[in-house]
Amino acid sequence: MGRIVVKVVVENASDRSKRIETDALVDTGAYITTLPAAWKSRLGEFPSSREIMLETATQETVSGEICGPVFIQMPGFPQISSEVLFLPMEPEDGKYEPLIGYVTLEQSQAAVDMVGHRLTHVRYADLK
């Protein structure tokens, strides 16, 4: 299948000076943009925050924190207002691997081009 990694900018909607620019793995199996919990302080305080229990691909149950609102933008796609999930992660070779989930993809009108291993713009949002 291949890996699709895109640049993404995440900004705290309440304080736009608080932002993170990073590469993120497109993961259509993840439902929300997911960042390492270690980065949460870089985005400052959020008006909304809630704990959530999640099941990983290995069927492990973990706790995360959904925060927002944030602005999310990938190059070539419109900026959206959404939430992010902060999840405890272990860096691999000193690097974290943030994820772009399907909610962010749909809100951004982005689709996965499996042949070209890239994101492509969806002309119309799907209401069916």
Nearest CA to 33 out of 120, 92, 108, 102 is that of 102
Mean pLDDT score, 21-34: 95
**What is the length of the chain?**
128
pLDDT of 24 > 70? The answer is yes
| pLDDT given for residue 127 in this prediction | 81
Task: Tell me the whole-structure pTM to 2 decimals.
Answer: 0.92
Report the candidate in 89, 85, 86, 105 with the shortest Cα–Cα distance to residue 97. Answer: 89
DSSP letter string, 8-70: EEEEETTEEEEEEEEEEEE-TT-SS-EEEGGGGGGG---SEEEEEEEE-TTS-EEEEEEEEEE
Domain boundaries, the chain: 5-121
Backbone angles phi, psi at 94, to 5 degrees: 80, 5
Dump pLDDT digits (tens) for 31-65: 999 999 999 999 999 999 999 999 988 999 999 99
Residue 5: strand pairing partners = 25
Count of Cβ atoms closer than 10 Å to residue 103 Cβ: 16
Q: In this structure, which topology does domain 5-121 adopt according to CATH? A: Cathepsin D, subunit A; domain 1 (2.40.70)
Distance, CA of 96 to CA of 112 (rounded, Å):
22
